[in-house]
Amino acid sequence: MYHHALRMAIIYAITNQKGGVGKTTTAVNVSAFLAAAGKRVLLLDMDPQANASSSLGINRDKVEVSSYDVILGDASAARAVLRNHKLNLSIIPAVSALAAAEIELVGQLNRERMLQNALAGELPKYDYVIIDCPPSLGLLTINALTASSGVIIPVQCEYLALEGLTLLNRTVHLVRQRLNPALEIRGLIMTMYDSRTALAQQVVAEVEKFFVGKVFATRVPRSVRLSEAPSYGQPIMTYAPNSSGSVAYSNITKNIIEQDSMKEAPTENQ
């Protein structure tokens, strides 16, 4: 009943409070591959470093309306959307002032739901909203988790990778208990993987033991191409379509689409 009429966007927060784990790379490339698969996609940059925005060629100094205005309720989400026609992708860019939002949100009533409320009117326009979170577990990330259907966690294949995951797992659990009962860990993506090292394989095994059945089978390799692409304002799909990084994110995105469509298939009695 009303199943299709009320179909809302699937919202994924890409998060890890540890910096440098491939979070923005994941947000940008999954968004680009989703759009290439014909999905209507909004990439929401919630990181004051605005790396997702600049990775798609947006100059943050020229941004007039940003995620900062949206989360504080000073502008509608629709006003902040920029369109990348080449990629068929919508983006709400970030600016460095977003860092101040952490402090400005503290005094707001219902402060954890500001983003959820701001996005509500936009959701019917999209199949997916991908949120690039800042590398912290402050109010911006809590807002993203409260607004999301699931969390995708990029994990760098290195020593101490699990250390931050325990805290992140606890935060997701708290948000689920208090703010968003529907929130689930959608999957973990092992990034900067080097199959030649025993350490990378140990880290993967440890993460798989800790998050049973939640780790994407495709690993994202260490890749010069992946790290070069943002400086050209392009996702890996257009910058180096045949590179190992491009193949990895293509496979991960296919997996996301397949699993989501299985979940969405209406049951007989609907």
Q: How confident is the model at residue 40 (pLDDT cuts 50, 70, 90)?
A: very high
CA 177-180-184 angle, 5° bins: 85
What does the block give as tokens for 199?
């350490």
What is the arithmetic mean of pLDDT over 9-32?
96
User: Is it the case that residue 6 has pLDDT exceeding 90?
Assistant: no
Whole-prediction pTM: 0.94
156: three-class secondary structure by DSSP: strand
Which domains, and CATH codes, for the chain?
Answer: 10-262 (3.40.50.300)
In this structure, the strands spanning 82-84 and 89-92 are: antiparallel
- Residue-wise pLDDT for 171-184, tens only, equals 999 999 999 999 99
Q: How confident is the model at residue 215 (pLDDT cuts 50, 70, 90)?
A: very high
pLDDT reported for residue 7 = 65
One-character DSSP codes across 241-260: TTSHHHHHHHHHHHHHHHHH
What is the arithmetic mean of pLDDT over 12-36?
96
Q: Which residue has the tokens 């440098």?
A: 20
In this structure, the strands spanning 10-14 and 150-156 are: parallel
User: Is it the case that residue 265 has pLDDT exceeding 70?
Assistant: no
Give phi and psi for 87, each to the nearest 5: -95, -5
HSE-CB at 261 with a 13 A cutoff on CA atoms is 9
- Residue-wise pLDDT for 221-247, tens only, equals 999 999 999 999 999 999 999 999 999
- Residue-wise pLDDT for 60-113, tens only, equals 899 999 999 999 999 999 999 999 999 999 999 999 999 999 999 998 889 999
Query: Which of 26-30, 76-80, 195-199, 213-217 shows the lowest per-residue confidence on average (mean pLDDT)?
Result: 195-199
Across the chain, the runs of DSSP E, i.e. the strands, are 10-14, 41-45, 82-84, 89-92, 128-132, 150-156, 184-191
pLDDT reported for residue 162 = 82
Q: If you average pLDDT over every residue of the chain, what do you get? A: 92
Q: How confident is the model at residue 269 (pLDDT cuts 50, 70, 90)?
A: very low
Region at 196 (left for phi over 0; alpha for psi -120 to 50; beta for the rest): alpha
49: three-class secondary structure by DSSP: coil
User: Is it the case that residue 268 has pLDDT exceeding 80?
Assistant: no
